[in-house]
Amino acid sequence: MATFAERLTRALERDGRSNRSIAAAIRAKGGVKITHAYISQLAKGVRPNPSLEHTRALAAELGVPINWLAGEDVPAGQPSPELDETALHIAARSTGLSELSLEMIRQMIETARKAEGLPHNTP
Asked whether the whole model's pTM tops 0.85, one would answer no
pLDDT(57) > 80: yes
Closest CA to 80 of 90, 89, 91, 69: 69
Q: Determine, yes or no, domain membership for 122.
A: no
Q: Determine, yes or no, domain membership for 121.
A: no
Q: Do 17 and 64 reside in the same domain of the chain?
A: yes
Confidence at residue 51, expressed as pLDDT on a 0 to 100 scale: 94
Q: Do 60 and 108 reside in the same domain of the chain?
A: no
Q: Do 94 and 65 reside in the same domain of the chain?
A: no
- pLDDT-derived band at 4 (thresholds 50, 70, 90) equals very high
pLDDT tens figures, 92-120: 788 888 999 989 998 998 888 888 887 76
Q: Determine, yes or no, domain membership for 80.
A: no
Number of separate domains in the chain: 2
Q: Do 37 and 11 reside in the same domain of the chain?
A: yes
User: What residue numbers bound the domain in which 48 lies?
Assistant: 4-69
Q: Determine, yes or no, domain membership for 77.
A: no
* Mean pLDDT within 5-20: 92
Q: Determine, yes or no, domain membership for 120.
A: no
Q: Do 14 and 52 reside in the same domain of the chain?
A: yes
* Least confident span in 24-28, 72-76, 95-99: 72-76
pLDDT(123) > 50: no
Closest CA to 13 of 51, 43, 49: 43
Q: Do 62 and 89 reside in the same domain of the chain?
A: no
* Mean pLDDT within 19-39: 94
Q: Determine, yes or no, domain membership for 11.
A: yes
Confidence at residue 121, expressed as pLDDT on a 0 to 100 scale: 58
pLDDT(34) > 70: yes
